Amino acid sequence: MSTHTELDATVDHEEVVIRRGERTGQPVIVAVHNTKLGPALGGVRLTKYDSPVSAVVDALRLSRAMTFKAAASNNGTGGGKSVVPLLPGGPERVDGQFRTSLLLDVADVVHSLGGRYIVAPDVGTGPTEMRTMRMRTPYVGGYTITPEGIPATTHGTAGGVERALLATAQHLWGTTNLDGRTVAVIGFGAVGRSLTEKLIKRGATVSTTDIDESLREPAEAVGATWIPLDTAHEAEVDILAPCALGGTLTPALVPRLRCKAIVGSANNQLSTDSVADSLRERNIIWTPDFIANAGGILYASGIELQHLTPEQADHRLDEIAETTTRALERSHRDGVTTLAAAYDLARERLAAAETNRP
């Protein structure tokens, strides 16, 4: 698919801003996809891109995905995304004063939108960067650290995936009891580790892996079995939990899968939407990623935008279990993919918001 075709297919956005930062001269891209349900919420991605166009395409695609994530999870926000592309020939390192200046450049663009877009952490950024941007604009989320020292978005994401997985288990087996169930968690980063620990406490037998082999020892220390990364997706388990890179569920992989369900935190897990059809044909239940991994925005938004207590914000994660159940039941009832069912739920909420607009 050509870049121009990709752009034509994804531009249904309310606003796209591309601006060079006054301090650094680096490009800052902000895509506001939809604000029907509230201000657009989405992370700032600070990473390498081959070209400015590929960065714009990513911002368009990711902001649109955020609209459906927010709508499906009933978060009361819309969808947006910002991208700061590190391009060939640009700065080799983004640290020190240059990093601070770059973050303030992003904050300037965010602030200029007057609250239509709220920035949050994504690839290359975290709570520390959000606190820096708050020096310039109040339209920032994802800066909170839990009393245990865990970023609020990490805590929420792991808790949300746990709830989605339990709802999927209930749909499959009629119980949320994980005793004797096997789960392969692919990716032992912050979310993968937290999820692994939660599942082991619930009685599941968990295997895990990561591109970083140094994580093997801490994984085994919490009771997980380490498995090879290159064959992890083909593990013979009850549930596969992708918690690293997206796009790993491909047409070529589907015939080799040996799991009953897939529930994980990774974004954009399907390499193409048609994979959802292939999974359904094999009777493998895929809980859509934008439902399963919405806990980060639910929890952080609860704390930072709605001023809830941590306990109240945790209760918001129960929305994920409810939405998972609704999507899986609709998929079964209507004979459609879980992806189609989840999109329908999100579209219904967006349509209701449009109808109720003054």
Catalytically active residues, by annotation? 81
Cα angle, residue 244 at apex, residues 169 and 12 outer, rounded to 5°: 90
CB-CB neighbours of 27 under 10 Å: 19
Q: Are 78 and 37 in contact, with CB atoms under 8 Å apart?
A: yes
The annotation status of 191 as a binding-site residue, yes or no, is yes
Q: Are 175 and 139 in contact, with CB atoms under 8 Å apart?
A: no
The annotation status of 25 as a binding-site residue, yes or no, is no
Q: Are 159 and 295 in contact, with CB atoms under 8 Å apart?
A: yes
The annotation status of 159 as a binding-site residue, yes or no, is no
Distance CA 193, CA 95 (A): 27
Give the start-end residues of each E strand in 187-295.
Answer: 205-209, 225-226, 239-242, 261-262, 285-286
Distance CA 9, CA 11 (A): 6
The residue written with tokens 């800066």 in the block is: 143
Distance CA 345, CA 342 (A): 5
**Strands 117-121, 78-86: parallel, antiparallel or unpaired by DSSP?**
unpaired
The annotation status of 290 as a binding-site residue, yes or no, is no
Residue 212 tokens read as 């970083």
The residue written with tokens 């978005």 in the block is: 153
The annotation status of 187 as a binding-site residue, yes or no, is yes
Q: Find the radius of gyration of the CA atoms of the chain.
A: 20
Q: At what angle do helices 52-73 and 318-334 cross, to 10 degrees?
A: 90
Distance CA 101, CA 87 (A): 17
The annotation status of 190 as a binding-site residue, yes or no, is yes
Binding residues for NAD(+): 187-192
Binding residues: 187-192
